[in-house]
Amino acid sequence: MIFRAVEDADLISRVRRGDVEAFNLLVSRWEKRVFNYLLRLTGRPEDAMDLSQEAFLKAYQNIRKLDDPARFGPWLYRIAHNEAHSLFRKRRPETALEDAPAERNPAPGFSIDLSLAVTAALDRLTPEQREAVVLKVYEGFKFDEMAEVLGCPVSTVKSRLYTALDLLKADLAPVSTRGN
């Protein structure tokens, strides 16, 4: 992970010197993760695709504002987060993420019951709880990185995550036990 961060920092330095191809390498490295993060927020592949495109474009345009190149990941996700919430505010300011349809295909190799249960359990969370789970469980961010992405204190991040896990645990632990 440290080696990866150094590589990202090197690419960012090259981008800042005008090397566009270096940014293309960054896109290749991060596009799938950013797309899936946005897909889990929005539930719509087309929205996730458009938002990913916008997020990378803004990242490129503002790459000089990144203070610490080693923090490129949280910085990029922060941009993606803002893009997603900007879209939600435009579409439905009062409901934001809550009505996002869940388009999550069951994973091959796992039981349909488990995949459907995971999907349903995630959809029962609040948008904030769901995003905390996505950033921690699926994207593997540390708490301080999550706080940077979400723009809130670490204590808030942990509160959202652990409340969500209590709910998910009640829903999923019995199912996963059966599935296994």
Q: Which residues sit at the interface with another protein, rule CB under 8 A?
A: 18, 20-21, 23-24, 27, 31-33, 35-36, 39, 45-46, 49, 52-53, 56-57, 60-61, 64-65, 104-105, 107-108, 110, 114-115, 117-119, 122, 133, 136-138, 142-143, 158, 162, 165, 168-169, 172-173, 175-177, 179
CA distances from 37 to 84, 120, 171, 174 (A): 10, 17, 22, 26
Q: How far is the CB of 65 from another protein (least distance, A)?
A: 5
Q: How far is the CB of 61 from another protein (least distance, A)?
A: 7
Q: How far is the CB of 46 from another protein (least distance, A)?
A: 8
Let me know: does 160 contact 132? Beta carbons within 8 Å.
yes
Which tokens sit at 15?
């981008």
Q: How far is the CB of 143 from another protein (least distance, A)?
A: 6
| Beta carbons within 8 Å of 115's beta carbon, 6+ residues apart | 104, 105, 106, 107
Number of H helices, E strands in the chain: 8, 0
Closest to another protein by CB, 63 or 97: 63
Q: How far is the CB of 74 from another protein (least distance, A)?
A: 15
Closest to another protein by CB, 6 or 138: 138
Closest to another protein by CB, 13 or 95: 13
Let me know: does 166 contact 133? Beta carbons within 8 Å.
no
Closest to another protein by CB, 56 or 77: 56
Closest to another protein by CB, 67 or 94: 67
DSSP-derived secondary structure for 80-128: HHHHHHHHHHHH-TTTGGGG-----PPPTTS-HHHHHHHHHHHHHS-HH
